[in-house]
Every structure is written in C-alpha cells, then in structure tokens.
Chains A and B, each alone.
Chain A
Amino acid sequence: MTKGQAISLQKNDGGSLTSVRMGLGWQAAPRRGLFGSRTREIDLDASAVLFADKRPVDVVFFRHLVSDDGSVRHTGDNLVGGVGQGGDDEAILVDLQRVPVHIDQIVFTVNSFTGQTFQEVQNAFCRLVDETNGQELARYTLAGGGAFTAQVMAKVHRAGQGWSMTALGTPANGRTFEDLMPAILPVL
C-alpha cells in the first residue's frame, strides 16, 4: 500500500465491513544498564479525529478513550511500545455501523509524545484490520519516516453506502493530535 492509495472497505463478496481496527505498533527503546527504568522510553500515541463536513466533531485519544457516541474506542495508552514484532501496542476500534450519520471522515494520526523522531523508532507501523475475521486489510510502515515526530497516517471516509480508506502518510511535527490540525485539514 502506498501513500494516497484508496482502498475500499467493501468486502469482495459485496458485504460491507462492519468493524475495523487501526493498530499502531513500535519497538520499545532498548534498556540500558541496571537502572532499566531510567531508559528513555518511546511513547507513540494513536489518535482518531472524527469529522463532519471538514469540521472536527469528536476525537479519540489517550485522554478521551471513547467517542461520545461510543462507536470509536481506544484500547488504552501504551507508554513504552512493545517487542517490535508486529503486534499492536495501541489500537483504535471503529464500529463503522455505529458511527453517527453526520460523521463522514475519520482521520488517524500518530504522534511521538516523548519527542523522538521516527528515525529513532524501530519497527513502527500502522495497519487496518477487519475486526470480524482478523484479516489485515492494509499495512503501512512508518520506519524510515524521517525527522518527524508525527504523521497523519490514514483516513477512513464514507463512500456510497460503505467506507473507504486512504493512506496518507503525511509527515508532520507535534506532541498530540491538536498540533496536527494544520496538517490534517488539507487532506480532508
């Protein structure tokens, strides 16, 4: 999957996807010495911003783990990353059937809360999984992401009766999704 490529979330058999998970994984910083807790940890954060007609309506991130309507849920903040072997360290679950009717786009972002650029983070990726069967629909590697601390990863938007996903991969800088709004608005 390359930047800007749109993927329809309609299933091959014509049925529409009902539930997807956006996963974010990265490898924890190596531990140093005996005082392992003093290791500089890498904290990446996944966020999802819900837009209605290009206006942000709600956001799901580590301080607001469930959208008010309950359709988008964050599984919880991971502050250090994982083993870097492909598992999701943070995930955002989207129940597409329950997304309120006026929400037409959901933008997923990654921010480096602790300030490391993606150059310093190993094995970082984002992916989209069909929650009903666990099948990976799309995977997008953040590694080699350059000297940036944030990325507008992808958006899921309404298309006809169903939903499509577009990978964006727009690099940006910022600590939380709020810093990314200037980078998000042009891609809506």
Chain B
Amino acid sequence: MTAELVRGQNHPLPQARLEIRVSAGTPVVAGATLGDENGKVHGVEWVAHPGAPVLPGLEVSKQAAADHRLAVDLEAVPDAVHRVSVLLALPAADGRGPVRFGAVAAPFVAVTGLDGTEVASYTITGLEAESAVVALELYRRQGAWKVRAVGQGYAGGLAELLADQDLPQAHQLAGSIHEAVARGLARSVPAPPQRTADGDRSPQPAAPAPGPDHGATAPQGAPGPVPPASPYDPHGAAGPGPQSEYPGGPGAADPASQPSPAGSGGPIDYSHPRRQNAAPPPPPPTAPPAEPGQPARPVAGDATGWSMDERLYNQVWGMFEDLARTTAAYRSAVDFAESRMEKELDQVLSDPRSRIGGQGDAAREAARARHGQLVARAREAFDRDLAQLIAEADVVEPALPPAYARWDNPAWHAYRVPMEIPMALRLGDLHLPEADRIRIPMLVRLPLERGLWIDSGRSGSPGDTFADSHDMRRLALETAVAHAARLLAVYPAGEFTVHVIDPAGSGAQALAPLVQTGVLAAPPALGAAGTADVLARLTQRVDLVQMALRGGAADSLPPGLDTAQQLLVVNDFPHGFDDRAVNQLRYLADEGPAVGVHLMMVADREESAGYGPLLDPLWRSLLRLTPVADDHLADPWVGHAWTYEPPLVPPGSQVLQQVLTQVAAARRSWDR
C-alpha cells in the first residue's frame, strides 16, 4: 500500500533494502548526504553524488537524468549515521536548460521495495526559484528507519544546501559535483534539440512510458524503446534530430564552430551550426480529406521533418520502402502460387485415378485456375499500391529541390547558389521490373559517407551489347562529371573543391564542362608527376586535419588550408599510378571521408587486376554506380535487386553549363 506523503509527513520503512525512484521532467542531479544524530554532515566522504556515487549502503547514479534509481541498504549504513537525505539539483545550466525548479514539472520521488512495490511517494510541489532541494530523509527512530517528506528547497543551489547541513567544504563540493555532471552529460546520448523558442512545453521524460503508472519506472540500464532513428534512413542517422557537425567539414578548421572537446566539461552544443531549429517547424502539408472509399490524394512533403528538405527526404525514403515491401508481398504471393500449382500438378500426375477419363484434365485445370486466381488477387493489391505510389511520385518529383531533382527538373533552371548544405543528394533513379512506371530518387545523405566508384567496365548484365569499352569509358566519365557538378552546385560557394586526376589526358572532352567553366581548383593533373602531386597534397591535408582533431587543436591548422570538402576524381585508374600513389589512394579512401576528403573513381576494376586482392578493400569501400542502367543495388529492407539509372543531363541541354557558370561566378566572388 503506497502512502502518498505530504510535506513533513513520515512513514515507517518495512525493510532495509530499498530503492528510491526519482522522476523529474528534466534531467536532474540526484545525490544523498549522510548525517549524524544532529544532522551534521562531517565531510565530503559523507556525500554520495555523481562524482563519488557509492557509499556504504548507498548508491546514486553518475549523471544527471530525468529518472533515477538510488539503491539503499540501511543495514549497511554506518552506525554513526542517523539520517540519509536524498537531494535533487538542477545541473549547472550555462544559459541552457532550466535554472529553477519552478520552471519544470514537480519532481516525484518514491521509496520502493526491491520488487518495485511502492512504500511511500512524494511529489515535491511549491518550488519556485530553488535550484536544489532535499526531497526525502530516511532517519533512525528508536532502532527503526522511517522516511519523511522534506521538500526543503534552496535558491542558492547545492552549495547552500550542503552548507545548511554543516558541511565545511560545501562550496568546493558543489562545484565538483557540477563538474562531474557536466562530464557525464558530455558522454551521454545527445538529448533532443533544445526548444528555446517554446520553453513552456514541458520536456518529455526520457524513459519510455510503459504502463498505466508514472512512466518513470523503466529500469535504469534497460534497453529503451527502439532508437528514434528514421526508419527510412539506412545509416540509422536520426531523421528529425539535428545533424551533427561532420568532422573535417567546413567547421573542422574553424574553432568557433567546433564543439568543445568532451574533457573540457562544458555541455556540448548539439545543434547544427547552420541549421536554425530554434523555431518550431511550419506544420507539414497534410493530405486533404479523402473521398469515402478512395485513398487520400498524396501531397509533397507529407512526412515528418524540421524542414521541407527533410520532409521530402523522408517521404522519398518512405516511398522507397513502401515500394520495396509491396513488391515483396507481390513476389512472395506469385512464388507461392506457382509452387502450389506445381505441387498439385505433380499430384495429379502421380495419382493413378487421374488416368481415367477426364479427371486428370479437370484436376490440372483446377490447379491452374487456383494459380491464376491467386496471382490475379496479388496483382490487384499490387496495382492498387502502385497507383498510390505513382500518384505520390507525380506530386513529389516536381516539388524536389535541386539537390534531389533530376537534371530536367525546372528547379535546375531556377538554380541559385545555395547558402547551406542540403540534407541529401540525388545519385540517380531506382526502379523494379514489376513497377517500371515508378522511379524512386536515390538520395544519399551529405556529406558523403563513402566514396563513389563509377564503373567503366562492362556492364554486369549478360547480353548487354550496349556499349563497347571506349563508349563505356566516355559515358562513365560523363556520369562522373554530372555527379561532381551536382555536388559543386549544391554546396555553398567555396565549401566544395574538386580535383581531377586524368593521367593520360584521355578525359579532356568529357571534363570540358568542369574545365571551361572554371569550377576546378586546378586544371586536371596529367601524367605520373601530376598524379603524385595531387595525391601528396590531399594526403597531407588528411594528416593535418586528423592530427588537429585528435589533438583537439583545430585552431592550429595552417592558415592557408582550404577548409572546404574535397572531392578527388580519378580517371583511368590505374594509369599513371605507381605503388606509392596506389598506397596514397588507399589511405585517402580509408581515412579521407572522416575528414572531408572524398574519392570518385572512374575505373574498370579489371584493369587494376594486376594488383591482386590488395585493392579489394578499396573497391568495397566505394559505392558502385554505373554509367548505364544496371540492377546491382539492393534496398536495406528486403534486398531486392533495384535497377539503377544514372542522372544524365538531357541531350542538348545546357543546364550543366549554366549551373556551373553560376557556381564559378560565386566561387570567384567568394575568393575575393
């Protein structure tokens, strides 16, 4: 039977081993002090807090949290101790988070047995400017222990609270507690974004709400609910959360935007330096109410997200998943229908009675009819889903921003050099043979996590006589140029730099759009010497940025260093590469992405077969794309083989030149 205590009320404790559960709407520090018969705390060793969480018979958690469980074994508490005070405090805020209990939901504390049954509970109401509070005290009374609801708050915080208990080093200890908490915060899972604009909204408890009770009783250390990763994101990056700054990105060399190192004690700013999330996002467009019996008409951006970009990204991934799954249902039903028909036909064949008269024919006919019926029903369900997805694609595709759009989308004609990096980039289109009418944009997150490999080898599909090897090479390089141009165009001016290695000079024609518009950092590097030079410079850059990041000294980079993301396009690999250059390339592929140096290989793997398995890790680390349609990409849910189509510029279109001209102009004015 739970006793709900009011301030000052006491209650006997039936057992020595207890838990004290704390539930607050916001992360709080929980601790406990031990006092003698006069209530005096004799020294810092009498205080359990995040920096020193265990005392005899008492254990508190190491960091601030919205929910706590304190373990108490009153039999193990030293005899000199007559009072255990359970205290809560708001973490030192540094301008963020609440600084007074009056601004947050009333904390709730409960004393429970080890099996979870509540003995007594107390909701600490009436707090205002206080930032620390003695919640409960457990005390000895005539040989037995009792609990009392205290609720004594201190506007002066922990230091005042500890001083009030006669602790000599109150101020130093309060400081070291806050320091320990800040360290704990730096280690813990990122909290949801701060909502400074609407601070009135009470923060959600961190724990899942499992049952009809307080939602605060999820055991500490238990696996929480499914992590809040976007289901549509194969990399598990949380969709709606703030995107973390990519190490080595533009911010890497800029100390102002660098998150403070974990050891320095300050809470980490998880917000994206360029993404303004403070204001709540505008409400997403919602589908108009559907006619009865009709599916709702689709609307572009009908997904969750903080911005239209993010909503469209999530919507596209949602369409991708839906198409993968509905196709899986259809294929599974058709496979089943076929295997069932075969089994039934076999049975007819092995049944001696079927040889008499028309019985066998009738049975065969029935088996085929059953097959046809099931397939027709499966197709009907599939067509219904496809119609819905096609209608959705029809509204989504025109609404896409340039980074997500096909080259023939009018968005590219209205192109302006962007002010911030988009969330993702379209690398091409994906489709399945059963659903030829619908193309799913293949969107990958930026900055790139893997390099790209544009395969100029023979296409994997047998019987493809589409192109001889010369054509394939040209097409592959043109595709690479289109990808590089897109990357240049979607990054703000000066935040993306492209280098090209074309040792034999064979790619001059295909590279012309990049060279003529002047968007490259330098003309394509020729010959072994040019190759070695570019590789050496990029390798050095990776080394420098890595050292700076590891040493926590991002501001010690040389002043001339280009802070932009770097893309190295390598044509005709391994032509012009000696062993040293190959090793540098592998190093760039391994270490580059983490510090903003990416590879785009235009290569036929066969031509570097002489290196044997040495290069296998290189190829595996790259995302393989083809210059012609090829079914080599698998979705992350079911693993269908999707046909990939590269994003080619429509024949005769000048859009690439127009866009690159703008990029070059913006780069020039940015350089000035």
Q: Is the CB of B329 within 8 A of A69?
A: yes
Which residues on B sit within 8 Å (CB–CB) of A75? Answer: 225-226
Question: Of the candidates A69, A71, A102, which one forms a contact with B337 in the assembled complex, judged by CB atoms under 8 Å apart?
Answer: A102
A79 to B, closest residue via Cβ: B223
Q: For B333, what are the chain A residues with a Cβ–Cβ distance below 8 Å?
A: 100-102
Interface-located stretch among A2-10, A84-92, A105-113, A168-176: A84-92
**B336 engages A70 (CB within 8 Å):** no
Please report the C-alpha to C-alpha distance between residue A126 and residue B254 in the assembled complex, in whole angstroms.
56
Distance in Å: Cβ of B395 to nearest Cβ of chain A: 22
Taking a contact as CB atoms under 8 Å apart, the answer to whether B116 and A102 are in contact is no
Would you call B211 and A82 a contact (CB within 8 A)?
yes
Give 1 or 0 for each of B616-638: 1 = CB within 8 Å of chain A CB: 00000000000000000000011
* Chain A positions 45 through 89: 1 when the CB is less than 8 Å from some CB of chain B, otherwise 0: 000000011010110000000101111000111111011111101
Q: Which of B213, B217, B332 contacts A102 (CB 8 A)?
A: B332
At the interface, yes or no: B222 with Cβ under 8 Å from chain A? yes
B interface secondary structure, majority:
mixed
Within 8 A of A (CB), among B322-364: 322, 325-326, 328-330, 332-333, 336-337, 340
- Cβ contact within 8 Å between A31 and B19: yes
Smallest beta-carbon distance A115→chain B, Å: 19
- Closest Cβ of chain B: how far from A71's Cβ, in Å? 7
Give min CB distance, B389 to chain A, whole Å.
13
Find out whether the CB atom of A80 lies under 8 angstroms from the CB atom of B325: no
Given A57-B332, A68-B638: A101 touches B326 (CB 8 Å cut-off) = no
Knowing A33-B17, A69-B328 touch, does A86 contact B211 (C-beta < 8 A)? Answer: yes
Measured CA separation A89–B322 after assembly (Å): 27
Within 8 Å by CB of A66, from B222, B223, B329, B637, lies B637
Asked whether any CB of chain A lies closer than 8 Å to the CB of B126, the reply is: no
Q: How far is the CB of B333 from chain A (nearest CB, A)?
A: 4
Q: Chain A: which residue is nearest B19 at the CB level?
A: A31
Shortest Cβ distance from A97 into B: residue? B381
How many A residues face the partner with a CB closer than 8 A? 36
Q: Contacts A68-B638, A69-B325: A83 and B336 contacting too (C-beta < 8 A)?
A: no
Q: Known contacts A34-B59, A68-B637: does B332 contact A83 (CB below 8 Å)? A: no
- Cα-based distance from A98 to B388 in the complex (angstroms): 14
Look across to chain B and name the residue whose beta carbon is closest to the beta carbon of A34. B71
The answer to the question of B467 belonging to the interface, with a C-beta cut-off of 8 Å to chain A, is no
| Most chain A CB within a 10 A radius of its CB, from B73, B325, B337 | B325
In the assembled complex, B377 has its CB within 8 A of some CB on chain A: yes
CA of A86 to CA of B210, assembled, Å: 9
- When the two chains form the complex, which single residue of B71, B210, B329, B378 contacts A83, counting CB atoms closer than 8 Å? B210
**A30 located at the interface, meaning its Cβ lies under 8 Å from any Cβ of chain B in the complex:** yes
A28 beta carbon closer than 8 Å to chain B: yes
Residue A36 is within 8 A (CB to CB) of chain B in the complex: yes
Question: Counting CB contacts under 8 A, is B156 at the interface?
Answer: no
Q: Give the residue of A27, A89, A100 whose beta carbon is less than 8 angstroms from that of B332.
A: A100
Residue of A with least CB distance to B330: A100
Nearest A-chain residue to B212, judged by Cβ: A85
Whether A37 sits at the interface, judged by CB under 8 Å, is yes
B414 CB → nearest A CB, Å:
36
Q: Report Cα–Cα, A144/B377, bound state, in Å.
A: 44
Beta-carbon contacts of B55-69 to A below 8 Å, as 1s and 0s? Answer: 000010000000001
- In the complex, which residue of chain A has the Cβ closest to the Cβ of B322? A70
Cα separation A75 to B225 with both chains bound (whole Å): 8
A19 to chain B, nearest CB (A): 16
Beta-carbon contact of B374 and A30 below 8 Å = no
Given the known inter-chain contacts A28-B116, A69-B329, please indicate yes or no for A102 contacting B336, CB distance below 8 A: yes
One digit per residue, 1 when the CB lies within 8 angstroms of any chain A CB and 0 when it does not, for chain B 497-539 equals: 0000000000000000000000000000000000000000000
Interface centre among A68, A77, A89 (most CB of B within 10 A): A68
Q: Note all chain A residues with C-beta closer than 8 A to B289.
A: none
Write out the residue numbers on chain A whose beta carbons fall within 8 Å of the beta carbon of B374.
101-102
Q: Check A98/B329 contact, CB under 8 A, given A82-B211, A86-B211.
A: yes
Chain A residues with CB below 8 A from B309, complex form: none
A70 to B337, CA, bound (A): 20
| Complex contacts, B418 vs chain A, CB 8 Å | none
B453 vs chain A, min Cβ distance (A): 29
**Docked pose: A54 CA to B637 CA in angstroms:** 25
- Give the 9 A-B CB pairs with smallest separation, nearest first: A87-B211, A70-B325, A69-B329, A30-B115, A100-B329, A68-B328, A76-B226, A102-B333, A102-B336
Which residues of B are interface residues toward A (Cβ below 8 A)? 17, 19, 59, 69, 71, 73, 114-116, 210-213, 217, 219-223, 225-226, 321-322, 325-326, 328-330, 332-333, 336-337, 340, 374, 377-378, 381, 637-638
Q: List 7 A-B contacts (CB under 8 A).
A: A36-B69, A37-B221, A57-B336, A68-B325, A71-B325, A102-B336, A102-B374
